[in-house]
Amino acid sequence: MTGRGTLLAECLGHAFSDPALLARALTHRSKGGRNNERLEYLGDSVLGLVIAEALYRRFPDLTEGELTRVRARLVRQETLARLARDARIGDRLQLGEGELKSGGHDRDSILADALEAVFGAVFVDGGFAAATSVIGRLYRSALDEVDPAAVLKDPKTRLQEYLQKLSLAVPSYHVIEITGEPHQQHFAVECAASGLPQPVRGEGTSRRAAEQDAAARAYVVLTAQASDGSA
């Protein structure tokens, strides 16, 4: 393995016996041929199990439903994409011409899928112990920082409390669109809050669900800005 591949292996803490597995994990379907979709499928399952076990051991008082919600936060696309950026996965992606031109190397969905594929490749190459080690290495900070109490609050409450800590006004929600038949409506809501560059849109099958979705997305934007120092 050469150059950036060696650096990535060092970041992962795993030396591949079969470097072709890592190459395949980093090959998007837009490139054609032997891409990373099968490894992504495998890596998704391995990741879920490793994180489930870590949470089970760390938080003995959480119920099954609570553990599931915390795990969902840790394995969601946004978290995976952030960890993939930290590992410089985008620098190694093999993309088709269209994805290259459209900035696919930094797209959340592609980065998240690639990182899951990398986990799958490590599992195939070195077994469950190796995959557990790599996932634990990349997730160390995320696991140390996870706050179940915050995760388990509904998004509107979490956003409001976050703004109140900063002495900012409570957010406002406005329905901007209702579509569908009366018995099967779909709502779109905008959440406006201090610090947001623009209102954030959320959607759901009820007004409440759309507001919760908008609040969750607004919270992600605000906390990301704060972590970047741009708030």
pLDDT at 93 over 60: yes
Give the rounded percent of residues in the chain with a pLDDT score beyond 70.
95
Phi, psi of 86 (to 5 degrees): -60, -35
> What was the pLDDT predicted at 231?
47
CA distance 175 to 177: 6
117 has a pLDDT exceeding 70:
yes
CA distance 109 to 81: 7
The mean predicted confidence, pLDDT, of the chain is: 90
Q: What is the pLDDT of residues 213-222, one digit of tens each?
A: 999 999 989 9
3-state secondary structure of 79: helix
Q: Give the start-to-end residue ranges of the domains of the chain.
A: 3-148, 153-228
Residues 129-173: pLDDT tens digits?
A: 999 999 999 999 999 999 898 777 888 988 998 999 999 999 999
Residue from 208, 207, 211, 218 nearest 179 by CA:
207
Q: What pLDDT, on the 0 to 100 scale, is given for residue 126?
A: 96
Task: Work out the pLDDT band at 103, boundaries 50, 70, 90.
Answer: confident
**pLDDT for 2-59, tens place per residue?**
545 566 878 899 999 999 999 999 999 998 888 999 999 999 999 999 999 999 999 9
User: Which CATH class, in words, describes the domain spanning 153-228?
Assistant: alpha beta
As a whole number of angstroms, the distance between CA 132 and CA 51 comes to 9
What fold does the segment set 3-148 form as a domain? Ribonuclease iii, N-terminal Endonuclease Domain; Chain A (1.10.1520)
- Catalytic residue ranges: 44, 116
Please check whether the two domains, 3-148 and 153-228, share a CATH topology.
no
Q: What is the dihedral of CA 206, 211, 212, 213, to 10 degrees?
A: 90
| pLDDT at residue number 4 | 53
Q: DSSP letter at 63?
A: -
Cβ atoms of residues 12 and 87 within 8 Å: yes
pLDDT tens per residue, range 171-222: 999 999 999 888 889 999 999 999 999 999 999 999 999 999 999 999 989 9
